[in-house]
Amino acid sequence: VLGHYPQATALLSPLPLAMRMAGPREALWHALIRRNYGATHFIIGRGHADPGAAAGGLFYPAFAAQELFARHADEMGIAGIFLPEYAYSRTRRRYVPVEEANGEALAGISGTELRRRLASREDIPEWFSPPEVIQILRQAYRGADRRGLVIWFTGLSASGKSTLAGMLARTLEADDERAVTLLDGDVVRRFLSKGLSFSREDRDENIRRIGFVASLVARHGGIAVVAAISPYRQARADARRLVEEAGGLFIEVHVATPLEVCAERDPKGLYAKAMRGEITGFTGVDDPYEAPEQAECVLDAGLQKPPTALAALMGVLRQLGAVTDKPVVNAARKEA
């Protein structure tokens, strides 16, 4: 970035300070912090740290931050640089104050528009920012449809979790550019959690291990599709926390097939054994299943055929922005 400025005229000093979007008062706070770091001047724009109104536009009056700063500049000990609103003139090939447009159509890209272009991988003109900066932003920014994603199926044994998870994984492998990892509870029990019992403590440990692996997949931008009974809310909440701390999106899918339907299916004969007392600690019979209270998606595989349930789930994923049907845009067009 510094290479775009004349030598010995600019110093880049990154300050790890998150925006609070508190408007004019935040402008004063920013100024004091920068003064403490040695700055002598501070640039305040038209809508500094403005959170934006629900209906669009600014929440605070335009230039309110500049006016508040001017009233307190002497006591803060840092000078303000009050800039008007600027936009890009394609004819003059430079930024000019909007008030000097004289009828000329000026160009600009808002923060919202920038994020949209980054998410959809659309072209960003060089007049907006140096190409090196845009490249770094593209590497760092992921839209929801490119974030790491964990889709966690929970439900009773024989509810249809594994069937739906497998169908979803195959669909995503065909349609999504992210790598897809399927973590099926039965397979995990044979390898990752071999030796664990079905006590509550060991069940929680099993879910903790699955959640950790899923969070690693999400951290690296992949998709983890998990199918596990995961009967306890707290264990599922812990898995969600692991994924979200890794920067991933966690979507809980409750396969809410009724107990009587699951027991009638009973492909492994486990419900029959549990009801005869031959095995104990079986979820739904003599061990509780704590149904999700706020799952992102609820399916009933007893009423819905698998293709119908999958279509409903894909609709939810699209609504949440986790997947998209839109083709990847790779515009070669340059905006002059």
Report the catalytic residues: 230
- Counting Cα atoms < 13 Å in the Cβ hemisphere of 300 gives 6
The DSSP-derived string for 5-44 is S-TTS-------------THHHHHHHHHHHHHTT-SEEEE
Question: Is 120 exposed, middle or buried (CB count within 10 Å of its CB: 0-12, 13-18, 19+)?
Answer: middle
Q: Can you say whether the dihedral through the CA atoms of 71, 72, 78, 83 is positive or negative? A: negative
Number of residues written out for the chain: 336
Residue 26 tokens read as 């935040």
**If DSSP codes are grouped into helix, strand and coil, which group holds residue 184?**
strand
The DSSP-derived string for 47-98 is TTT----TTSS-SSPTTHHHHHHHHHHHHHT-EEEE---EEEETTTTEEEEG
